[in-house]
Amino acid sequence: MTADTHIPPIAPGRLPLIGHAIPLLRDRLAYVQRLRTYGPVARITVGPKSMTVINSHELLQEILTSKSQHFNKGLLFDKLKIFGGDPLPVAEGKQHLNRRRMMQPALHREQVKGYVTTMRDTAEPSIAAWHHQETLDVCNEMQLMAQGVVMAALFSSNPQRGPAQTILNGVDTVFKAALQHAMVPISTLERLPTRGNRKAQAANTVLRNAIGDIIADHRANPDAYDDLVSLLLTVQDETGATLTDQEVIAEVTALLAAGSETTAVTLAWLFHELGHNPDLEHRLHEEVDSVLAGRPLAAEHIPQLVFTRRLIDETLRLHNPAWILTRRTISPVRLGQFSLPADTDVMWSPYAMHRDPDLFPDPLRFDPDRWLPERPQPPRGAFIPFGIGKRMCIGDQFSMTEAIVITALIASRWRLRPTPGATVRPIPEITVHPSSLDMIAETREHTAAGNTA
């Protein structure tokens, strides 16, 4: 029996009950930011459920590292299980550890270096196809590029347009349904044959069949591929067991879902900020021009693009894609002065934490130089775009590299200008994405000739 099992159950009223139900979509971000003013730990109700909100980065660090054995992933991730398989983001305990060990090599820093050329060759044609003065739907452009890059790393090349579109539509529908269920946490609703639930289940079946066909092709022609799927098909656990087709399908779906929109929205916000900060844009152009010096972008350039990396870090701070994450206690645990019994739902908002003025001076200012090593850095555990601990994002190296590649490729040719009068609002859905982001592409030659404002 550990010391923690002696903790008396939480005294009712010990945590202030400060709110009821997450409000309407447009108010949610303001709401989660306001929750931070209620002290390190607070309690709210969401429908019939009570949620414990963690506002302290120190307590959050304990939850995610030294006390992580007391928690599973909780509400948000329960909902993903209904679509079958227990891929890495939803696996628990020994199964998670095992699976993580199997998958880590495929996304390790050294392995990711090998994807740089694929990332460049996948994104470049889309960027080259833009026209001077064309109005771009930047969210859509970034989404297509990010999906293309993950697809290319997973499947060697973009699969045929039809299957690719089927897979992407399926991932989108399935994840939107999961999020919807998480927001209305009444389990019976998920099992009702509503139009939405039937659509999600049908999308899930089509998605699994399309990925199943790709796996069958890999198994039939093992020498024809050198990609993430081939790695997943051969990797073994400590007993020598390999993943089944169903397990690979679940992992591929999870990688597509976890890896596309997160990186895409980060890039969209980054170019939104650059559109309003011409000085920063100019510094980016200078760095990219001097590092690439007219050569094609390659793996050796990535560590040299230091300002580009700071821009991405600052985007991940100010526009963190995750606005809510969850855990649930599986055994009693003490957090600071609070004792949480088993089965307590816990949530926190990285988005709100990254905008807390106590942790980040002048938090609403987009300032990549706050990340210069000579500037005071935020306390440990306050900047966690990829999480921390044993559930930390397995794709962090992949997405940082991808974001650097795409940012540098765009910056070497284009300026993206805001459309006059447009208002861009953050919308919290699966990620916090811009409401819409139309920007005007201008070639850099045109700017250099002094023809633009």
CA distances from 285 to 22, 111, 112, 447, 449 (A): 42, 28, 25, 12, 15
Distance CA 113, CA 109 (A): 7
- Between 309 and 415, name the residue whose CB sits nearer to ligand HEM: 309
Site string for ligand HEM, 316-355 (x = CB under 6 A): -----xx--x------------------------------
Q: Distance between CA atoms of 122 and 54, rounded to whole angstroms? A: 40
Q: Judged by CB under 6 A, which of 150, 305, 352, 382 binds ligand HEM?
A: 150
CA distance 30 to 41: 18
Q: How many beta carbons lie within 10 A of that of residue 237, not counting itself?
A: 12
Q: Which of 40, 84, 212, 387 binds ligand HEM (CB under 6 A)?
A: 387
Cβ closest to ligand HEM, residue 40 vs residue 389:
389
Looking at 113-121, 181-189, 211-219, 252-260, which segment touches ligand HEM (CB under 6 A)? 252-260
Q: At what angle do helices 396-411 and 116-128 cross, to 10 degrees?
A: 40
Q: Which stretch binds ligand HEM (CB under 6 A): 35-43, 132-140, 278-286, 388-396?
A: 388-396
What is the secondary structure of 25-88 as a DSSP string? GGGHHHHHHHGGGG-SEEEEEETTEEEEEE--HHHHHHHHTTTGGGEE--HHHHHHHTTSS--T
Shortest gap between Cβ of 312 and ligand HEM (angstroms)? 8
Nearer to ligand HEM, 15 or 102 (CB): 102
Cα separation of 124 and 413, whole Å? 11
Which one of 115-123, 136-144, 258-266, 276-284 is the stretch in contact with ligand HEM (CB under 6 A)? Answer: 258-266
Piece in contact with ligand HEM (CB under 6 A), picked from 113-121, 259-267, 299-307, 419-427: 259-267
Q: How many Å separate Cα 20 from the centre of its chain?
A: 27
Our finding on whether 399 is near ligand HEM (CB under 6 A) is: yes
119/136 Cα distance (integer angstroms): 21
User: φ and ψ at 440, to 5 degrees?
Assistant: -100, 125
Q: What binding mask, one character per residue, do residues 160-199 give for ligand HEM by CB under 6 A, x or -?
A: ----------------------------------------
- Closest of 112, 101, 431, 389 to residue 257, by C-alpha: 431
Site string for ligand HEM, 91-110 (x = CB under 6 A): ---------x----------
Identify the residue among 368, 395, 428, 434 touching ligand HEM (CB under 6 A). Answer: 395
Beta bridge partners of 41: 54
Query: Could you say whether residue 75 binds ligand HEM (CB under 6 A)?
Result: no
**Contacting ligand HEM (CB under 6 A), which of 52, 266, 329, 401?**
266
Contact between 80 and ligand HEM per CB under 6 A:
no
Amino acid code (one letter) for 119: M
- Least distance to ligand HEM, CB of residue 88, Å: 4
| Residues within window 217-236 making contact with ligand HEM, judged by CB under 6 A | none
Structure tokens at 98: 């095992």
Which residues here bind ligand HEM, judged by CB under 6 A?
Answer: 73, 88-89, 100, 150, 254-255, 258-259, 262-263, 266, 321-322, 325, 385-387, 391, 393-395, 398-399
